[in-house]
Chain A
Amino acid sequence: MSTAAATHEHHGPATGIKRWLFTTNHKDIGTLYLLFSLLMFLTGGAMAMVIRAELFQPGLQLVDPHFFNQMTTVHGLIMVFGAVMPAFTGLANWMIPMMIGAPDMALPRMNNWSFWILPFAFAILLMSLFMDGGGPAFGWTFYAPLSTTYSNDNTALFVFAIHIMGISSIMGAINVIVTIVNLRAPGMKWMKLPLFVWTWLITAFLLIAVMPVLAGAVTMVLTDKYFGTDFFNAAGGGDPVMFQHIFWFFGHPEVYIMILPAFGIISTIVPTFSRKKLFGYSSMVYATASIALLSFVVWAHHMFTTGMPLAGELFFMYSTMLISVPTGVKVFNWVATMWRGSISFEAPMMFAIAFIVLFTLGGFSGLMLAITPVDFQYHDTYFVVAHFHYVLVTGAVFSIMAAAYYWLPKWTGHMYNTRLAKWHFWMSLISVNVLFFPMHFVGLAGMPRRIPDYALQFADFNAIISIGGFAFGLSQLLFVAVVFKCIKAGEKAPAKVWDGAEGLEWQVASPAPYHTFETPPEVK
Chain B
Amino acid sequence: MNHMPLLRKLLLGTLAMFAFAFALVPLYDVFCDVTGLNGKPSMEQARQSERVDNSREVTVSFTTHAQSGAPFKVSAQQQSVVVKPGEMSLVTFAAANTSDQARVMQAIPSVSPGLAAKYLHKLACFCFDQQTLQANEQQEYQLRFYVDPALPPEYEELTLSYTLFDISAKHSESLVAAAR
| A interface list, Cβ under 8 A from B | 106-107, 170, 174, 177-178, 181-183, 208-217, 219-220, 228, 231, 234-237, 239, 241-242, 245-246, 249, 307-309, 312
* Seed contacts A209-B17, A239-B40; 11 additional CB < 8 Å A-B pairs: A208-B13, A210-B17, A211-B17, A212-B20, A214-B21, A216-B18, A216-B20, A228-B170, A309-B37, A309-B115, A312-B37
In the assembled complex, the Cα of A246 lies from the Cα of B3 at a distance in Å of: 32
Q: Which of chain A's residues has its CB closest to B130's CB?
A: A235
Q: Are A235 and B108 in contact (CB under 8 A)?
A: yes
Q: Are A208 and B6 in contact (CB under 8 A)?
A: no
Could you mark each residue 10-38 of chain B with 1 if its beta carbon is under 8 Å from any beta carbon of chain A, else 0?
11011101101110110010000001011
Q: Are A213 and B114 in contact (CB under 8 A)?
A: no
Q: Are A245 and B7 in contact (CB under 8 A)?
A: no
In the assembled complex, the Cα of A122 lies from the Cα of B18 at a distance in Å of: 22
Which residues of chain A have C-beta atoms less than 8 A from B139's C-beta? Answer: none
Q: Are B14 and A212 in contact (CB under 8 A)?
A: yes
Given the known interface contacts A107-B3, A182-B3, the answer about A234 and B165 at a Cβ–Cβ threshold of 8 Å is yes
Shortest distance between the CB of B18 and any CB in chain A (Å) = 4
Q: Are A178 and B6 in contact (CB under 8 A)?
A: yes
In the assembled complex, the Cα of A228 lies from the Cα of B167 at a distance in Å of: 11
Q: Are A182 and B38 in contact (CB under 8 A)?
A: no
B67 touches A (CB below 8 Å): yes
Q: Are A178 and B3 in contact (CB under 8 A)?
A: yes
Could you mark each residue 62-88 of chain B with 1 if its beta carbon is under 8 Å from any beta carbon of chain A, else 0?
000001000000000000000000000
Q: Which of chain B's residues has its CB closest to A170's CB?
A: B14
User: Can you list 9 A-B pairs with a CB-CB distance of less than 8 A?
Assistant: A106-B1, A208-B10, A213-B20, A215-B21, A234-B163, A236-B106, A308-B37, A309-B35, A309-B115
Nearest 8 CB-CB pairs, A to B? A216-B21, A235-B165, A212-B18, A212-B17, A213-B21, A174-B10, A235-B106, A242-B28
B43 touches A (CB below 8 Å): yes
Once A and B bind, how many residue pairs between them come within 8 Å at the CB atom?
86
Which residues of chain A have C-beta atoms less than 8 A from B40's C-beta? Answer: 239
Q: Are B15 and A182 in contact (CB under 8 A)?
A: no
Given the known interface contacts A216-B22, A217-B21, A235-B67, the answer about A241 and B170 at a Cβ–Cβ threshold of 8 Å is no
Which residues of chain A have C-beta atoms less than 8 A from B14's C-beta? Answer: 170, 174, 208, 211-212
Shortest distance between the CB of B39 and any CB in chain A (Å) = 8
In the assembled complex, the Cα of A239 lies from the Cα of B114 at a distance in Å of: 15
Q: Which of chain B's residues has its CB closest to A167's CB?
A: B14
Which residues of chain B have C-beta atoms less than 8 A from A242's C-beta? Answer: 24-25, 28
Of B1, B18, B25, B43, which is within 8 A of A183 by CB? B1
Interface centre among B11, B25, B35, B163 (most CB of A within 10 A): B25
In the assembled complex, the Cα of A177 lies from the Cα of B11 at a distance in Å of: 12
